[in-house]
Structures are given as structure tokens and as C-alpha cells.
Structure 1
């Protein structure tokens, strides 16, 4: 259980769930009207801390430099949205919805809280700093938010005006995948090559003085054969593998511009009830 003395150790420090996963950062601690004990902690969640979820602090514990709550991260992020008013007060209906979300028995929690008599169930106050605070008030009525100007002992007569600023950043996501894949295809190719072959040609020559001796060298009349072998060329195809190119993939980064729109809240301060010398109401609005 977190005590009021430990509140400075909790504020603006990480909040982890039961698995040790960071949920966000603690921004405010809400105190019980009747007992003054820390009851709820608001956790800034979301990409830029734009959401604020409430989680019970009763069973939380401080571990090293962070607050550990006995709830899963998704459970905390899905908690009912509670819009705390300027007084920093949780209504009974809002608190009831939070109890139901976290599976806490409303009546049992009320009995165990050691509240005086039949005082109403009103929880209020956020702790933005430490020091004297007005946190109890009348049971059953909205109390005051600790750390709000005008509620601290010894505060001055000035009012602080605050506003939200939108911070835009980027995060890297996987947008797709590209791959090189090599596969084999078969193509029909055609090439013309010259081929040679031998043909028989019969040559006849008359008997002359030059070939007479060769012509009379054999028998006068006989049968004979003379054979000639013919040759021809045939096309022969074979394949060989040769490298033709190398292919690789690379990435290049390009920068585009996108417009991000959001809503931010600003506080305005105006003076009411002041009159000038002519009796007209003077109202000054701080823009």
C-alpha cells in the first residue's frame, strides 16, 4: 500500500503491470476524502502520453524506481474514461464504474476502508507535489485537489494558467516486404548453321594418249565395281551455363510530409465583479 509520504516517489515515475511491462507514467495520486489515504493513481498512456487511465493504488507497491500495480497493461488502458473536474474530484458514479472495471467489490472495499460512521463515499484530490493539503472536507461532498493553486498552505494570491502542447514524433513500422526469387524457364531458340554433304558425280573422259596406258592395264572385257564413300555434316547442339549478370536489392529512404492534427486544451483566466469609475463591469480575459 502506498502512503502519503511515498507520493513524491510515485509521481512522474514509470508504472509497470504484473508482468513488468511499462504502462505509462504516474501523473496524479487521488486521496480518499474520509481517510486521506492514496486511493487512485492516474497513468499517462498512449504514444505521446495523450490518454490518462485510473488504476487502484491500494495494492500497488514501489519496486526500485517504478510503481508496480497488480493489473495487466491492457486492463489499465481499457479503464473507463474519467473526466476529472477542476476540483480534482471523482464522483461516486465514476468511482463505482472504476471499481467494476477492476473487479473490486464496492461494498467490501467500503467496509475495509475504516471510514468513520456512515460517511458518504467521496474520493478526491490529486497530488502534484508534497506539503500541507486540504484533502478531507465534508464527507459526501467534493473535496479539494492537492497541489492545485489556492489549496496549499502558504500559497500566494496568483493563479497559474496552463495549456497543453502537442508533441509529434515518428515511430518505425514495417510497411511491406520485397524479395528476389530465381526460377528456371525453358525457351525455344533457333539458329541456322551451314552443313555440308557429299554427292556422287559421274565423270566421263575420252581415251587419249595420256590415259591410254591406264585404260589398257586391265582385262579386255570383264565385270568390275568401284565404291565411293559419301559423307555429310549434321548439326549438333549442346548447352553450357555462363553467368550473364548479378542482381541485388537495396533500399533507399525518402522523406514525405504528413500533417498531424490534434486537440489541445488551454486554460483562460478572466476577472469578474470588478467595476471602473463609471460602474461598468470590467472583465479581463487572458488569451
Structure 2
């Protein structure tokens, strides 16, 4: 396929010529010297870039996926791919064989190598805030956008639970059995006088009495272990918010009922 480097009559191209080319990693490549336009589609396909020491070499760089702003042209290929590309010897365009070789080197085809930002029917650059875009088929189009409500969850502290141990006093009564000894006088008649001392005089008889005394002591014993267990409780919560969406109306265009229904989405 033969390509020409026509640039006259399209001031969009004039803005690109002389721009500094940066590769996909943001590295500087060189200056745009010429733009090569495909004869069949009218879309810009290549730019020739001065590279090497003092700009003595020239390489063809694909415009597919490129972005141009002011005097900067960002391309979608690497600097190494540009450096290793087949060398361009002629300023009169490329032959079909050269075209094929270049496309294969950059992994492109004639169908996806054009720069759709500029072409035969490309309008003047849109003013700030204008969302008009050029469709892939060459028709004019608008991008309709809308906001979507994205809802997720975020774990945060909702409160604290703690255990606190303190001391209280209470009365406790325990009944225990006790006993004591008492004395009673027991009298029994003596039937054999010779068996006992019958002398008269003073004498004492004594017994020791015993009684239980209640003794109370205290001891500390563990009776229970108390801990905190955290349980996950699942539920649902509805979140509502206002989202915006764009609508597109047509003016001066005949629409069918089907198109009208689609436009109301």
C-alpha cells in the first residue's frame, strides 16, 4: 500500500508536526518530522521521528492509540520497539512490502493501525467541556455517562466491652452441731459396808467438764472463670443515595419508536 505524507489543509496535523514523541513508558523518543496518511482510509497511520545522535536517524512510529496534547505526542509503543523498527530510507511514503513489515514489527494490522483521533472527516478539536467523540466507523457520537453507587463495608470500632472485678461483703450463716458436758448427782445405796471406807472426815471429788467451742476461719477458693467471647452477628442495611446520569436527545434526526425507547434509558 502506498502512503503519502500530505499534511496541507488540516491544521490538526500542523499541530502534531514538530511535537515531541514520548513512548509508552514516558521516555522521550524524538521530534515528529512527517505524518503518513493511509490512502484507503484517510487516517494518519505513521509519524516519522528523528532519533539517534543529533537526530540523524529516522524511524516510523505507529499512531494507533497515540494521544496528542499541545506539543507532546504520547505513543503506545516502547522506545526499544521504535529503535528496532525497519529503517525508512525514503521521504515519499512506504511501499506495500514496507508497510507489511512495519505492521508485523509493531504487532498491528491495517484494521487497527489507524489513528482515529484525526482522519478525513475529523472535526475541529472540541472545546473544553465538549464530550463529543468520533466513532470507530467515522460517524459522530457522544459518550453517555452515568454515576453508579458502589457500596462496601469498612470495619471500624463500634464500642468496647470489658470485665471488671470488685469486692462486696455479705453476711453468711452456717449452723454447726456443738456439745458440752453437764454434771448431775448420782446416788446409789451401799449394800456392802466393808467394801468402802467408812471413816468420818472431809473429802473432795472433782470431774473435768468439756464443751465444744465454735471456731470460724476464712479461706479464698476459685469458684468460676468469666471471660468475653465475641460473636459475629450478620444482618442487612440498605444504603440510598442520589446518582446522576446523562441523557441524550436528538434534534433534527428522525427516530423510530425503538430508538426513542433506547434514548430514554
Question: What range describes the TM-score normalised by the shorter chain of this pair?
Answer: 0.3 to 0.5
Q: Which has the larger radius of gyration?
A: 2
